[in-house]
Amino acid sequence: MSVFSRLLYSGIAGALLLASVLLMGVAISRAFTGFRTGEGALDAMLDGIGLVIIAVAVADVGKFLFEEEVIADRELRRPAEARGSLTKFMTIIIVALSLESLVLITKASREKPAEILFPALLMLVAVAALVGLGLFQKLSHRVTAAIPDEAGDHEDGAEARRPSRSAKGTPKNR
């Protein structure tokens, strides 16, 4: 990976982490203001929880980008690597959707029970994403199990240099 790409992804990850910290600050400020004034303290706390959930998801995405694009410094050559990265990313999104829908269900049930449809649909979307991820895992595992690892893809190439041995312990190609 080029230096420019590393710097670019580092900057993006840093911006996401900064946005996450700022969201947490806003959440704390709103919750504190709600408790100080005494009006709508529970609503302020639920809003704060929602912001914290979003902040955690944003921080996780920033961390994911930094780990995958800067630290790992690899291109996804094998399907198993791509499957693992996609699973990590989708897990972050599914957890955030689930938690946010729970907060919205709690708010809607307290304020206007008739408006619980949107949070319930959001929960269904999270469940559908989880089922989709499970289906993706199952189908892609079958495909990647059928594809052997390339000898050149090993990090140190040691397995490619190692001679194969037969059942008696002698090299096959001698």
CA distances from 102 to 11, 110, 140 (A): 32, 12, 30
Per-residue pLDDT of 13-64, as tens digits, reads: 999 999 999 999 999 988 888 888 877 778 888 888 888 888 998 998 899 8
CB 68 within 8 Å of CB 6: no
Torsion sign, CA atoms 114, 117, 120, 122: negative
Q: Which residues pair with 75 in a beta bridge?
A: none
- Map tokens 């996401």 to a residue: 16
- Helix axis angle for 3-37 and 41-65, nearest 10°, is 170
Report the Cα 72 to chain-centroid distance in Å: 16
Question: Which residues are CB-neighbours of 74 under 8 A, at least 6 positions away?
Answer: 1, 81
Please give the structure tokens belonging to residue 88. Answer: 């990590």
Please give the structure tokens belonging to residue 52. Answer: 């914290």
Compute the radius of gyration of the chain from its Cα atoms.
24
Closest by CA position to 96, among listed 46, 43, 58:
58
pLDDT of residue 134: 93
Per-residue pLDDT of 67-86, as tens digits, reads: 887 887 666 567 777 788 88
- Helix axis angle for 79-111 and 117-146, nearest 10°, is 170
pLDDT at 153 > cutoff 60? no
At 16, give phi and psi (nearest 5°).
-65, -40
